[in-house]
Amino acid sequence: MIQRTKGRYRYSVILLKQLVKSDFKLRYQNSFLGYLWSLLKPLFLFAIMYVIFVKILSVDFGVRNSGAYLLFGLVVWSFFTELTGGSVGAIVGKGDLLRKLNFPKYVIVLATSCSALINFFLNLIVVAIFVAFTGIDLSWSALLAPLVFFELFVLSLGLGFFLSATYVKLRDIGYIWDVVMQALFYGTPIFFPITLAPLWVQKMLMISPLAQTMQDMRYLLISDKTTTIGTVYGNEWIRIVPVSITIAVAVIAGLYFRKQSRFFAEEI
């Protein structure tokens, strides 16, 4: 059984590795700092936001380590934008390969997700150093953080499948997704404490799986003073709603991608 499964996906795994390597190399080709940009981009954004919102506007996140809190939020946001934004043109960008070879099309989107994962873990090293210097003590509950991150990964990957398949037929989806991203950026408590909003707005925003996972990971890794969906609703079971949205997005997007993938080579 195991050998049969290995044999079935062997070609896909080899292709996935090659795509991840080539994508990573091409991204930083002819760049002086190369891979360092994957670390510098969120750090520069963090520095700008930290000065503006923490130092100048004196925004109080309600936690002891505002810097680590803000930096971690930006790293999570960067992962989400890289995976979903990178997936939009992923299939179209591999049009030549699709017309020459017959292989599982989902490998292309998985390669994009692997690149985003690599950058995310590189950025986590920076967060870990920041956390170490600011004296944050991790508790055993931090072990639950990978589970919450898995929910975010499934959501992002599902959206990636949907966006990449839709872009083949409808190129406007790239512009539409840019607008949606702007709305999500301001609708997710990345650079502002969600408690600033009225309670009904907090409840509406926290139903988003993106906001729920970001706040839950901050709670587990940065500060137990973080406002989560459980504290906003006064009921921890409310997490079932964003988790259900995530599962629904992943299943529907996966089925849609599978149906559309048969025609990619002809439609690109």
Supply the pLDDT for residue 20: 85
Q: What is the band of 3 on the pLDDT scale with cuts at 50, 70, 90?
A: low
pLDDT digits (tens, 9 = 90+) for 4-63: 666 667 778 888 888 888 877 777 666 666 667 777 777 787 888 888 887 888 788 888
Give the count of beta carbons closer than 10 Å to the beta carbon of residue 190: 20
pLDDT digits (tens, 9 = 90+) for 210-248: 999 999 999 999 988 999 999 999 999 999 999 999 999
Supply the pLDDT for residue 1: 64
Average model confidence (pLDDT) for the chain?
Answer: 88
Q: Identify which of 208, 177, 180 has the alpha carbon closest to the alpha carbon of residue 194.
A: 208
DSSP result, 110-174? HHHHHHHHHHHHHHHHHHHHHHHHHTPPP-GGGGGHHHHHHHHHHHHHHHHHHHHHHHHH-TTHH
pTM: 0.90
Q: Which residue has the higher pLDDT, 46 or 77?
A: 77
Rounded average pLDDT over 141-163: 96
